[in-house]
Amino acid sequence: MKVRVRLAPSPTGTLHIGTARTALFNWLYARHLGGDFLVRIEDTDKERSKSEYTKNILEGLNWLGINWDEPPVLQSKNLSAHQDNIKILLDQGLAYRCFATEEELEEMRAAQKSQGKPPRYDNRHRDLSQNEQEAFKQKGRTAVVRFRIDNEAFIEWDDLIRGPMSWKGEDLGGDMVISRRAPAEEIGEPLYNLAVVSDDSAMGITHVIRGEDHIANTAKQILLYKAMKLNIPKFAHTPLILNKEGRKLSKRDGVTSINDFQELGYTSEALVNYMALLGWSVPEGMEERFTLQEAAKAFSFERVNKAGAKFDWDKLNWLNAQVIHGWSNEVLLKNLSPLWVQSGWQLPPKDWCIKLVELLRPSLILIKDGLNQASPFFEEPTLQEDGNKQLQQEGAKESIKELLIQLDKTPWDGIQSNQAKEILAITANSAGIKKGLLMKSLRAALLGTMNGPDLITTWGLLARIGKDRKRLISRV
Ligand code: GLU
């Protein structure tokens, strides 16, 4: 049987890292076994669902390289199928209309609370007689539809990640609402568990892989599958993603949506690589830096942890640097030049830009580091504390003046680095300046700081666009 898995996001927000990681585990499993990965947009909450979020979710998956095999399904399109299923359950007496008002339910919960009991529906309308039902209808009461959950029910499944799981019917909160309140003759809006079972079955889903926060739903859904006489898929519950304090990663942690990571300058390759490692560990002999295809080949649920996965920024940064350092000059330039252009910078000819990205590459961790670090090549850098300190050293400014004199005699166009080294040597020798002092002062004068990439290449790039001498003159 061909494996068919799905991601079923609710479009009530942008693509969250947790949802993206669930998508990835589904995708890896499907690709590993040559199965299908599908997407179903669970857009039945009309108030909170927005088409822009659907767009964001699909674009985010696409950016990460998580592709789907059939056009995304919109859950709202399946409304009548959901209602048909509810009707069948009603006809078979497996579900019933509950006429309890919100106030009555509130009272019931308050009483449970005062007795120190957890809230649960007390199944009060489970066995209403025909007359009792009629009486409620006469009073104009609306009703929800509830699915019977026997206290004695015992639900078991073999979770692909967590092993044997079991749940008691009595721990599921009483008979479950499967459709919202509506006039008593109608069937209201179907609710999550019913809709999911109905859709997963219609889509031929063989494996439901989702976050561990859905474990109780799985128990309820298995009861629905049985009642509706449908094939029960296999289940895998993935571990939560935790922040550094060990709590569930949430909006309060700041960065949680895929867009946030994109904006911070993470590459899709590094992010998706890192996401795979959030819960999955590579088999022996496999490097932690891998492509999606390599991960798909090696993926199995045996190596997915049950315990929550702590988010580790250092590892993500390390992976991101690895990805960027592995890019060719062309690819790096393609990623950086739009940022430079957005900053209003005029770009010199391509061979110059290629040299610049080559120079910056080793120190880049995030893509946008290539914006900050390129800045002194396009804009006049401010003199920072360390640069200023260097230029205040005895003989520092004089060394730059001597260099300028030498440059008047033998101008350097920035091409031959040997020539630059020679000019520096002649300057040091003829004026009796220590070479170290000259080099450090040159760096401070060119970049305004003592940090930065290779000095001769930096100088060469500035010289080729006629920026070096002007800058040196301004510093002395
Ligand atoms: N719409 C549900 C969610 O986003 C889907 C859960 C599931 O995969 O069944 O949590």
* Ligand 1 contact, 9 CB (< 6 A): yes
CA distance 303 to 23: 17
Rounded to 5 degrees, what angle do the CA atoms 75, 186, 124 make?
100
- The continuous run of DSSP H or E covering 337 comes out as helix 329-342
**Burial of 215 per CB tally in 10 Å (0-12, 13-18, 19+):** middle
Q: What is the pLDDT of residue 255?
A: 82
Mean predicted confidence (pLDDT) in 420-449: 96
Mean predicted confidence (pLDDT) in 421-444: 96
Greatest extent of the chain over all pairs of C-alpha atoms, in Å: 113
Mean predicted confidence (pLDDT) in 120-134: 97
Task: Give the global pTM.
Answer: 0.91
Which domains can be identified in the chain, with CATH numbers? 1-70+239-323 (3.40.50.620), 78-191 (3.90.800.10), 327-378 (1.10.8), 385-475 (1.10.10.350)
Mean predicted confidence (pLDDT) in 220-238: 98
Mean predicted confidence (pLDDT) in 105-115: 97
> Is pLDDT of 251 > 80?
no
Expressed in angstroms, the distance from the first to the final Cα of the chain is 77
* Ligand 1 contact, 207 CB (< 6 A): no
Q: How far is the CA of 192 from the centre of ligand 1 (A)?
A: 8
Q: What is the pLDDT of residue 180?
A: 96
Residue 158: count of CB within 10 angstroms of its CB: 10
pLDDT digits (tens, 9 = 90+) for 407-425: 999 999 999 999 999 999 9
Mean predicted confidence (pLDDT) in 255-275: 95
Residue 145: count of CB within 10 angstroms of its CB: 27
**Catalytic positions:** 251
**Burial of 91 per CB tally in 10 Å (0-12, 13-18, 19+):** exposed
Strand pairing report for 163-168 and 176-183:
unpaired
> Is pLDDT of 253 > 90?
no
> Is pLDDT of 231 > 90?
yes
Residue 77: count of CB within 10 angstroms of its CB: 11
Mean pLDDT of the chain: 96
Mean predicted confidence (pLDDT) in 121-137: 97
* Ligand 1 contact, 209 CB (< 6 A): no
Q: What is the pLDDT of residue 213?
A: 94
Given its phi and psi angles, is residue 187 left (phi above 0), alpha (psi -120 to 50 degrees) or beta? beta
In angstroms, what CA-CA distances link 468 with 110, 318, 387? Answer: 77, 34, 16
In angstroms, what CA-CA distances link 340 with 328, 344, 352, 357? Answer: 18, 7, 14, 12
- Residue 153 confidence class, pLDDT cut points 50, 70, 90: very high
Give the rounded percent of residues in the chain with a pLDDT score beyond 70.
Answer: 100
Q: What is the pLDDT of residue 215?
A: 97
* Ligand 1 contact, 10 CB (< 6 A): yes
Q: What is the pLDDT of residue 320?
A: 98
> Is pLDDT of 355 > 90?
yes
- Residue 438 confidence class, pLDDT cut points 50, 70, 90: very high
Residue 433 has what DSSP assignment?
-
CA distance 79 to 182: 15
Pocket mutation for ligand 1, best pick of 210, 215, 218, 225 (most atoms within 8 Å of C-beta): 210
Of 454, 367, 402, the closest CA to residue 462 belongs to: 454
Q: What is the pLDDT of residue 252?
A: 80
Of 303, 307, 370, the closest CA to residue 333 belongs to: 370
pLDDT digits (tens, 9 = 90+) for 73-93: 999 999 999 999 999 999 999
